[in-house]
Structure 1
Amino acid sequence: MRGKKGGVEKTTSAYKEWEVVCEALARGKQHVLLRKGGIHEGRRGFSFKHERFYLFPTRFHAQGEQVRELFGDACRGGMDEWKAGDEIVIRWWCQAMWARTLSDWKDVASLEPFHIWKEDLVRERFDCGEVQRIHCALVRVFALPEPLKLTFEKRYGGCRTWVGLPFDSPDEVVAVVPDDDFTEVQARVENIFQR
C-alpha cells in the first residue's frame, strides 16, 4: 500500500484518537467522534475535512480515567505515550457519514449512548473556548484486511487531529458493524437532531 506517484510520496489522512476510543469504535461500542480541536489546528481551527480516513491510535496515561468503558491495552495498563521509534499499528478505516457543529448541550448530552467518554470530559470540551460548541461526526468503521505498520515520528505527535500517512486508501475493507445494525444506529443518532 505504500507508494509514490509522480515522484511524490502518496499520503492518506488519518484522524488521531485515543487508542481506547479506537478500540470502542472497532467493536461497535462507539459511533460518533466529538472534537473541539487542538492548539495546532491552525487559524481556522478544527473541522472534519476528510470523509474517509484511517484511525491513528494515540496514547496518554490518563485516558482510561476519562471513559466509561475500557478496551484493548487500556484494560491492561500499557498506555504510555508513543515515543520516537515505537511501532504503530493502523487497523481501521473510517467513513464520516456526516459532520456538524453542535451548539446545544442537550443534543450533545443525548449522544451519550453512542460514545464511551465520561460526561464531564465532553462537557469540558464543549465549554472550552469563547463559544460553547463541539464538532460531531457519525462514522462507520471498517477493519483493514491486513494491519499497516509504521514507526512513530515526531511529526505524528502534538495537539493536531489530522496527520498524513504514507499509505494509499485501502482497496478492500470489512464493516465492523453489519449494515442493518448500522442503519438502526444512524437513525437513532439522527433522530436526536429531529426533535
Structure 2
Amino acid sequence: MSSAVAAAVGFKEWSFVCEALGQGVQTLILRKGGIHEGKKGFQFSHENFWLFPTGFHAQEAQLNWLPPNAAEVTVPQDEMRESVEIRHFAKMHAVWRVTDWNRVSALAPFHVWTEEVVRERFAWNEESCLHIALVRVSTLPQTWSFPYQRGYGGCRSWVNLPEEGIALESQLADVLDDSTWQQQAASIRTLLGEATSIASS
C-alpha cells in the first residue's frame, strides 16, 4: 500500500455512493473488484484518493438512500460522458478482508447499499469475501472539473487524475466532525475486529 501520494488518484464508485460518503451518510467502502484488476485482484492500494463518480443507470434501485441533489450528481454512462466532476476526497484508516457473511451483514446500518447488492458482491467469483475500508471523507468548496478520457472507463477501480488534484488537497474540509466520525469508526471496528491493515496516519 502506498503511503505517499505521488500523483492524484481516483477511486471509481457509483455517483450516489460518492455523495453518501461526501455527505457523511456512510464512512465505508465495500469492494469485490472488477475484471480489469489484474492477477492479484482488487487491492486498496492507495491510502488517499479522490472519489471518482461513475454512472450506473440502475443504482437507484440498488441503494437504500438517494441524495437530495440526485439530479445534480447523476453521471452519464462512459460513452456519453464529456467531463468529470469531483468534489470529495477519502483518507483510508483501516482495511478488512471479510469472509464471514454475518459480519458483512451486520454493517447494514453503516452503508447505503441494499442487502441484495452486498450479498451478490460477497458471493461473486470463486471466493466469498469483501474488501472493506474505513475512510474519512473531506470535500472541496467548489467542484473540480476536467475533461473525461477514454482511459477512465472499463471495469477497474483506480485511475490516474490530472496533477492539479494534488494542489487542491489543501482546500479540503472534513465532512464529519471529529467526535461523530470517531463514534462511527469505533462502532465499525467493534463489528469487524482487527483490521487487515491500518493506515500509518
Shared fold by TM > 0.5?
yes
Deviation of 1:76 (Å): 7.6
- The number of residue pairs the alignment matches comes to 186
2:79 aligns to what SS in structure 1?
Answer: coil
Distance change >3 Å, CA 110–CA 75, structure 1 → 2: farther
1:120 aligns to what SS in structure 2?
Answer: helix
Runs of 4+ more than 3 Å apart: 72-80, 82-85
Distance change >3 Å, CA 51–CA 108, structure 1 → 2: same
Structure 2 regions of 5+ residues with no counterpart?
Answer: 1-5, 195-201
Aligned to 2:145: 149
More helix by share: 2
Aligned to 2:53: 57
Deviation of 1:79 (Å): 4.8
> Percent sequence identity over matched residues?
39
Deviation of 1:152 (Å): 1.2
Which of 1, 7, 15 matches 1:19? 15
Contact 1:83 1:152 in 2 (8 A): no
Which of 19, 24, 30 matches 1:28? 24
Measure the CA separation in 2 of the matches of 1:128 and 1:60: 19
The amino acid that maps onto 1:142 is S
Aligned to 2:178: 179
Aligned to 2:96: 100
Structure 1 regions of 5+ residues with no counterpart?
Answer: 1-9
Measure the CA separation in 2 of the matches of 1:137 and 1:123: 17
1:158 aligns to what SS in structure 2?
Answer: coil
1:40 aligns to what SS in structure 2?
Answer: coil
Tell me the TM-score normalized by structure 2: 0.86
Contact 1:22 1:55 in 2 (8 A): yes
Q: Which moved more, 1:130-139 or 1:79-88?
A: 79-88
Distance change >3 Å, CA 135–CA 151, structure 1 → 2: same
Measure the CA separation in 2 of the matches of 1:62 and 1:172: 33
Deviation of 1:88 (Å): 1.3
- Note the aligned Cα RMSD (angstroms): 2.0
Distance change >3 Å, CA 79–CA 90, structure 1 → 2: closer
Contact 2:27 2:111 in 1 (8 A): yes
Measure the CA separation in 2 of the matches of 1:80 and 1:188: 35
Deviation of 1:74 (Å): 3.8
Contact 2:15 2:74 in 1 (8 A): no
The amino acid that maps onto 2:9 is S
2:141 aligns to what SS in structure 1?
Answer: strand
Tell me the TM-score normalized by structure 1: 0.89
The CA deviation string for residues 16-61 of structure 1, in whole angstroms up to 9 with x for no partner, is 0000001111111111000000000011110101000000000111
Measure the CA separation in 2 of the matches of 1:129 and 1:72: 34
